[in-house]
Structure 1
Amino acid sequence: DTDPVVAGEVLTYTITITNNGPSYARNVTLTDNIPDEIENPEFRYRISSNGGTTWGDWSDWSSWSGSYNLGTLPNGEKFEVEIRGTVDPSTLEGSVITNTASVSSDTEDPDEGNNTDTEDTGVITRADLSITKTLAKDTNLVETEIEYTIEVKNNGPSYARNVRVMDEIPEGLLFVSYTSTKGVYNPNTGVWSIGDMSDDEVETLKITLKVMDYNPIINEAEVVSDTTDPDTTNNTAVSDKVVDVEDPLIKGTVPREGYFEFFVDREGKKWLLRIPDRGYTTGWIPFVRLRDTENFMTGYYSDRRYYLKFNWYSSGRCSLIFNDRREGIGIKYGGR
C-alpha cells in the first residue's frame, strides 16, 4: 500500500482472491513467500459473500507462515487478505522489494493466467539523528581540564549511514584525550567518524580538554549522515554550560619578559604564572603562605627553583615579584 516504503516502517500487502465461478473452488490455498526484507510478517482476513459489496469483520492478526488454506470458496465470493511486516531498517536506499502471491485449489481452473500477481516496491531511507552535549567535568581555573560528553542517537526508522559529528575544538581549549563507544575522533579536524548506526542505537564520545583562555568559551557540535534526516532541528547541540574561568588576579607588561598573567585559586590556595607569548607556564603550585581577605590578598612561595611574593588590593593596586632560577625569568611589577 506504500511505494516507496521507508526502511524500518511497516509495509502492508492487500491480496484479494475472487472465485469467478461457475463452480465452487475446493481447498483453496494462498501462497506468499514474503521477501527476506520484511520482518515478522503477520496477516488477517475478511470475507465478502456478495462479490465485495459488503464485508464481514476482519480476523485477528496472526503470524504469517508463507501460506494459508482458505477452504472452500463459493462462486462469487471474495476473500481479502492483508499481510504486513516491518521493512528491515538496514535495507539500502534504492532497493526494490519484490513480492509474488499465488492462489491454487483442487478444482480445475479454466484460466490460470490470473492466479499469480507480483508487486515491486521501492525502498527509501530516513534516519532521525539527535545529539546532546554536556560539560561533564567543569572547572573555573585556567590550565585545568574539562570533559565534554557528546551523545548521538539514531531515532530511526532506518539505519543511518556514514554518521559523523563535527565538533571542532574552539580557540582557547587544548586537546588532551578522548574515549568513544564507537568510531574515531580526529582532534585536528574535529570530526568524530561513527560509521553506520542502527535504529535506536546510541553512541557516546568523551573529550578531555585543557582550558587555556579565561574568556568565555561556547562549544557546538553537529551530527550528519548520508541518510536523509526527516528532522534536522535536533542535529545541533551547544554545551549546557559556558566555559568561563577566573580572570588573572594580576596581569601586566614588564620590559624583559613582556606580557604576563598571574592567577590565584583562592579556594585551593594555589597560584600559576604564565607568559603567553613565550609559551611559558609554572602550572598550578600550592602557596607556602596565603592571606586572603575581602579587600586584600598577599601570598608567598619559595623553593629551589621558584620565588614568588605578591600583594593585591581590591582598589586595583598590586605588586608582584617572581623568579624562575632555572629558566632565568624574572618579573618585578607594581601597578593597578
Structure 2
Amino acid sequence: PAGKYHLYGEHFEDDYYKEIDENNEFEIIPIVDVAIDIGSSRVNVDFNKTVKFTIKVKNNGPNNATGVNVSAIIPEGLVYLSSVPSIGTYNPDDGTWDIGNLDVGENQTLVINVQTNKTGLIDYPVNVSSIEEDSNLTNNIDNKTIRVLMADLAITVNASDEIVNPGDIVNWTITVVNNGPNNASKVLVLLDYSDEELIYLNSSNATFNQTENKWEIPSLLVGDEISIEISTKVNSSDKPLILKANVSSDTYDPIESNNYDSDSVDALPICDLITKVSVSENPVNKDDLVDWTIVVSNDGPDDAADVILSLSDLESLDLIVLNASDDSFDLDDYEWIIGNLDSGGNVSLIITTRVNKSDDTITVTANVETSTLESDYENNIDNESVLINPICDLIIDIEASNETVGYGDIVDWIIVVSNDGPDDASNVSVSLSDLESLGLIILNSSDDSFDLNNYEWLIGDLGSGDSVSLNISTKANRSNENVTVLADVETSTYESDKENNHDNDTLEILPICDISVTKIADKNPVYLDDVVNWIINVTNNGPDKASEVIVNGSFPESLEFIIYELTKGELESITDDDGNVVELIWKVGDLESNESALLVISSKALEEGEVVNSVSANSSTIDMNQSNNFDSAIVDVISNESGEDNPDNPDGPEVPENPDNPDNPENDLDEDYYDEFPWDDYFPDDLFKNNDDKALDRNSDSKSDGNHIKSPKKQIDISKKRTGNPFALVILSMLALFSLATRKN
C-alpha cells in the first residue's frame, strides 16, 4: 500500500559472507481516480430564467483522496443566485469548492442556482484535483452547455372603424407574430381598455379570458402568426376610445419595441334634446293673455351644436304674438335659433299671445333639432293645448214668500236661475243652505230634480237667455229667529261674472210664548164686610220671551178695592161714573221664558151672594196655547148673623177704619194702614204646605169664559200701592204657592 517504508538488513559474517549491516528508506506514492460530472436542470433555457447546475465528485480509488478541490467558476451569461454543497464550502467569487478528503467510493454533490442574463450557448466547465496522483485524468474535467432561447414577438392592433357612434359595434383584431430565432413559449397577450366605455361582447378565441382581459398562447413557433378578434359595443361619446395590447413570453425577446401596440376609434358626441311646452293658463277666454313657455334642455352627455327650435304657425291658430323673451326668436317664421347647448344645460323662451277666438281648443307644437347625434329623437317634439271656454253669465235670485212668519207657518222659497251670457251653460247646479238645520221643514218642491236631502238642484244645461225656477214649500219649525237661506249656482262653463252667482233672503220667524194665568181667593166663603185677597199669577212658559204682557181682570161691583201689591209692571184701573173700580189692567211688561209675576189685590165684600172674579192674560208675542190664558175665582159672600169669625179664617183681622176719616165713602186708607197691615197674621206659615208643587192642575170649573165687564175706560188714581217692598215680595211668593196648592186641593 501507499506510504513511507524503512528497510533494515543485517547478516553476521559466516563462512560464506562477510558481515552485512545496512538501513534504507523509500515511499510508495498512493494512486487515486477522482472523477467529476456536471449537469443542468434544463438545456434550453429562457432568458432571465433560473437554471440549476449539479456537480458530482466521486473517488473511484484505489486510495483515499486528500486535498480534493473543485473549480466551478460561474461563466459569463449566468448570474449566481445560491449554492448548496453536500460537504465543504463553495466560494462563488473564485468558483472554488473545497471538499477536503474523499474516501474511496465516496460521492459529494454541489448544487449551484444561477439566472441567465444573455442569450445563446453558454458553457459551464468544471474540474477536480487532489493531492494524490490521479490514475485517470480524463474524468477530472467536465462541461455543460445550455442554450438561452430568444424570440422576437411582434403585436399589432387594428379597429374595424375609425369613427363610431355610441352604441356601435367595434371589432378589434389583435395579431401576434414570432420573428424568431427561437420558438416562443407561454406567450401572453394582455389587453387594456375601459370596460365602461367599450362593453365586451365576445371573442373569436375561446381561450380569451374576458375577466382578466388576457389571451394565453402555449407556444408560438418561429415564423408563425396568430390573431384574435374582440367585439365591443361603444358606450361613450365625444372622445377617442383606445384599446392597448401587450405581448410577452417566457422566451427572451430581444426587441421590446414591437411588443406593444394600440388602436383607437373616435366616438362622436351625442346629446339628448328635450322640448317642453307649457301654458300659463288653462282654460282661457277670448282676449285673455296667454304665456307659452318653451324649455329646451340637453340631457345628453355631450354638448349639442346648431340647435334650432320651430313652433306652430301661431297666427293661423288665432294667437296674436305680442312679444318674446328672447330676441333670437323670429316673430315671422316662429323659429328660435339657440346655437350650442351644453350638456346638462337648458334654455327657455316665453312668448306672450292674445287669444283671438272662443269655444275652441288651440294646440301649439314645438320641435327642436341639432346637428349633433341624439340618443333619443322622440322627446324633441312637444305640444300643449289650451281650452278656450264658452262664456255664460248665470244669475240667481232667491225670495221668500213672506218677510215675517210665525212658528208653524208655511213659507215658499222661489229660486230663479237665468243665463245672461252669450253661450250655453253646462252642468248647472244650485246648492241651498241646510234648510233643516235652519229650522225649516221641507214640505215639497216644484221640481223632482231637487234633492230633498242634500238641498241641491241639478238643472243641467241652460241655454243663453233661458231661465228656470224652483219653488220649495217649507214650514217654520222654530221661533224667534232670523233665518237666512243662501243659494249658490255653479256651472262647468266659464262665467264672465260670478258675483251674481250668490243670493240670499232672510225670513223673520216671530217669537212664541205660552202665557198662563191663575187667580185664586184666599178664603171662601167670605163674611159680608170682610176682607178677601185675590192672588193673580201670570207665567211665561216659553219658549221665547213674551212681550207686552197684559192681564185684564173685571172687578165685581160687590167688592170694594182696598190695596194691591205686585212683583212687576204697573196696575191701571177703569172706574164707573161713581168712581168705583170695575176693571183692572195689569201691564206686566216683558216676561222671559219661565218667568212669573204676581199681583195681590185686597178687597172688601159689600154684598151677599156669589162673587165671580175673572182674569185674562195676553201678549203681543204669539201665544201658542191660549187655553190657559183665562182663569176666575169664585167666593160666596155670606152674612155673619152669629157674629162669629170667618169660618175660612177665624183668626183673620178686621179691616180698620180710616182713623182720620171714618165716614169716607171710599174708605181710602193712608200709608200707615198699608204698613201696619197684618200680612203675617193673615197668612200663617203653615198655610202653604205644598210649596214644592210646581206644576199643579187647575180645576176646569174655575176657567173664565172670557167675558169681561164692560165699562167706560176711566182712569183713576190708586194711591195705595207699593212695588219692590221685600216683605211684600215674600208674601206674594207665598201667595203664589198657596194658589197652586189650593187649586190642586
Q: TM-score, normalised by structure 1?
A: 0.48
Greater relative contact order, per chain length (Cα 8 Å cut-off, separation 6+): 1
Q: Which has the larger radius of gyration?
A: 2
Q: TM-score, normalised by structure 2?
A: 0.25
